[in-house]
Structure formats: structure tokens, C-alpha cells
Amino acid sequence: MFSVTEKAAEEIKKLLSEENIPNVVLRVRVVPGGCSGFSYEMGFDDETEDSDKLFENGGVKVAIDELSISYLEGSVLDYKDGLNGTGFSINNPNAKGSCGCGQSFNA
């Protein structure tokens, strides 16, 4: 299971509306890199693979490839807009540690 908070879903739908790109999924991936070993990649995709795991929360469709899902199972995508920073973040219960910037993790 991978979920999207209401705030994150609102921001994603706002981006889709501004870019005028309907009928896409948000693709979330884990890739090697970052100062802790792995980092997250997110972007819009108009195609899915048969092996993708698909989730929908708050009207937002999310696709995660079969290799990334083992790292992202149970994670929550959130959006924060406050004094401590603005942007999307992933709360990942599988991460054993993360870097100071929060953009990479180790498993």
C-alpha cells in the first residue's frame, strides 16, 4: 500500500491542471543515489507497465514499478508548505536512515 495525503493530492491536481496534462499517473520510483544510498524520483507518466503497482488516493493515480514497491510499501506521500520548507516528502517506514536534507535514504 502507498498512500497520498489530502494536501499532496490537492497539490498534484493543481500541477496537472496548470500543465493541462490529464489522464496521467504520478510515477514514484526509488533509484540508487543520494548521500544515503537511495533517492526518490517522481514525475508524471502517460503509460503504465503490467508489472506496475497502481494506487489511487484523493483522485490521484500513482504507479510504482515492481522493484521500487519493496522499498515504498506502507509509505505516505505528503506536501508541506511552511517555515521548515515547502515541497513533497515521503514518509517511508522502510527507511533505516536518511540524509539531513531528507531526499535520500538507506534501507
Q: What would the pLDDT profile of 25-57 be if each residue is shown by its tens digit?
A: 999 999 887 555 788 899 999 999 999 999 999
**pTM for this one?**
0.82
The domain limits of the chain are 3-97
Angle at 46 between CA 44 and CA 50, to 5 degrees: 110
Residue-level pLDDT at 85: 73
Classify 11 as helix, strand or coil: helix
Cell of 103: 531526499
Helix (H) or strand (E) holding 64: strand 60-64
CB 9 within 8 A of CB 2: no
**Per-residue model confidence as pLDDT tens digits over 56-107:** 999 999 999 999 999 999 999 999 887 777 889 888 888 766 655 555 455 5
Q: How far is CA 62 from CA 69, 97, 100, in A?
A: 11, 24, 27
Select the CATH number that applies to the domain covering 3-97 from these four: 3.40.50.10310, 2.60.300.12, 3.40.190.80, 2.60.40.10.
2.60.300.12
Residue-level pLDDT at 105: 53
